[in-house]
């Protein structure tokens, strides 16, 4: 029996949450800096040295702003929706290994846990759209739910391919299985489809249909302001960071690069973070370079291309493993 309140676990959880929130804050700064560089202009450069304090200033501004609740909204659901999205985006980090033995809870079925938590995030979005009592917010939430459910299917088949090859549902075991070769090489089609699917799953360019400003003003969070909007904002960027870390775990070998002596094992989280930044850059580059898909193109890509192909690949891979007794 574990004690109800374990001080060590609480401290580790707080450290993890603070680390994720700092990562999210400077993700936004990196996005603004890289976008400005691509567009040949200066990004934030006034608040702090080279603009390094800009995310903290933005957070303080949102914290001090008034939270306005529409008179026709369902107050309880309206306020609880961003909290659900924010909490679920943090809870999933508890099973992500950042290095050898550097994980809060090394669950045997860590993949199922993450898949369960990510599938629950749609509830925060649909509650936000419905409780706002706004047509734009409701249409944005319906688009988000349809999009996330569509691409969760292809992501599920891609993850099954990784599980078949590694023969484990544990994230640490999957990383250790890639000591000799990263899965991005033998599973290259799945790797490329996972990159596209993670853009669609997190509602990012070129699949940002739920927040299409030209059509829906701001999508499901159009009626939110102040700290309630900030929770949606933090949840969205934490989900993008999580998908980036999962891509590193599934296809780039986690912290594996070259065997390090024991006294240099503290470098493993930095190697993991460096790989994660590669996918963070993909998120930002896609926003700067790619035009938005139409909604029918988005659904056609998910249901008529990705879903059949990932299913066929999963069947082929499982048959190959059974036939050759690998």
Contact between 317 and 165 under an 8 Å Cβ cutoff? The reply is yes
Closest CA to 121 of 162, 91, 78: 91
- In this prediction, residue 3 carries a pLDDT of 55
Q: Tell me the DSSP string of 90-107.
A: HHGGGG--SSTT--S---
Give domain status of residue 195, yes or no. yes
Give domain status of residue 243, yes or no. yes
- In this prediction, residue 43 carries a pLDDT of 84
| Greatest extent of the chain over all pairs of C-alpha atoms, in Å | 65
Contact between 119 and 126 under an 8 Å Cβ cutoff? The reply is no
Q: Which residues contact 56 (CB under 8 A, 6 or more apart)?
A: 25, 47, 48
Closest CA to 129 of 15, 38, 43, 220: 220
- Token pair, residue 250, equals 């599934």
CA distance 54 to 46: 8
Give domain status of residue 2, yes or no. no
Give domain status of residue 86, yes or no. yes
Expressed in angstroms, the distance from the first to the final Cα of the chain is 39
Residue 259 has, within 13 A of its CA and on its CB side, a CA count of 4
User: Which residue range forms the structural domain that includes residue 129?
Assistant: 7-323
Total structural domains within the chain: 1
Contact between 165 and 177 under an 8 Å Cβ cutoff? The reply is yes
Indicate the angle between helix axes 226-251 and 7-38, nearest 10 degrees: 90
Closest CA to 254 of 231, 272, 281, 274: 272
Give domain status of residue 1, yes or no. no
Give domain status of residue 94, yes or no. yes
| Each residue's pLDDT expressed in tens, for the chain with a length of 326 residues | 455 567 788 888 888 888 888 988 889 899 999 999 998 888 888 888 888 888 889 888 888 888 888 888 888 888 898 999 889 888 889 888 888 878 888 888 889 999 888 888 888 888 888 888 888 888 888 888 888 888 888 999 999 999 999 888 889 999 988 888 889 888 999 999 999 999 988 888 888 877 766 665 677 888 888 888 888 888 889 989 999 999 999 998 888 876 666 667 778 888 888 999 999 999 999 988 888 888 888 889 989 999 999 999 999 999 988 888 76
Cα angle 245, 222, 91; round to 5: 30
Q: Which residues contact 172 (CB under 8 A, 6 or more apart)?
A: 97, 100, 103, 106, 110
CA distance 212 to 240: 18
- Token pair, residue 306, equals 């990705």
Give domain status of residue 208, yes or no. yes
How many residues in the chain?
326
- In this prediction, residue 1 carries a pLDDT of 46
CA distance 47 to 172: 40
- In this prediction, residue 159 carries a pLDDT of 92
């Amino acid at each position: 029996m574990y004690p109800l309140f374990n001080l060590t676990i609480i401290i580790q959880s707080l450290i993890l949450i603070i680390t994720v929130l700092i990562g999210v804050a400077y993700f936004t700064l990196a996005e603004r800096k890289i976008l400005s560089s691509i567009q040949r202009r200066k990004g934030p450069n006034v608040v702090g040295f080279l603009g390094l304090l800009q995310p903290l200033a933005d957070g303080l501004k949102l914290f001090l702003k008034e939270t306005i609740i529409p008179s026709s909204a369902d107050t309880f659901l309206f306020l609880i929706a961003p909290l659900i999205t924010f909490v679920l985006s943090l809870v999933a980090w508890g099973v992500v290994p950042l290095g050898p033995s550097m994980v809060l809870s090394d669950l045997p079925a860590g993949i199922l846990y993450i898949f369960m938590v990510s599938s629950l995030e749609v509830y925060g979005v649909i509650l936000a759209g419905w409780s706002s009592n706004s047509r734009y917010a409701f249409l944005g939430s319906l688009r988000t739910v349809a999009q996330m459910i569509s691409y969760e299917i292809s992501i599920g088949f891609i993850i099954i391919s990784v599980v078949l090859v590694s023969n484990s549902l544990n994230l640490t075991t999957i990383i250790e299985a890639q000591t000799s070769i990263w899965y991005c090489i033998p599973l290259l089609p799945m790797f490329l489809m996972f990159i596209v699917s993670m853009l669609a799953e997190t509602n990012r360019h070129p699949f940002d249909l739920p927040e299409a400003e030209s059509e829906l003003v701001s999508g499901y969070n159009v009626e939110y302001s102040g700290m309630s909007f900030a929770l949606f904002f933090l949840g969205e960027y934490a989900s993008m960071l999580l998908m980036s870390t999962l891509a590193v775990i599934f296809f780039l070998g986690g912290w594996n690069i070259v065997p390090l002596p024991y006294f240099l094992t503290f470098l493993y989280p930095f190697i993991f973070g460096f790989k994660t930044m590669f996918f963070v850059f993909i998120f930002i580059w896609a926003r700067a370079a790619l035009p938005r898909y139409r909604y029918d193109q988005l659904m056609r890509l998910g249901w008529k291309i990705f879903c059949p192909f990932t299913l066929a690949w999963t069947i082929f891979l499982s048959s190959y493993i059974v036939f050759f007794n690998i």
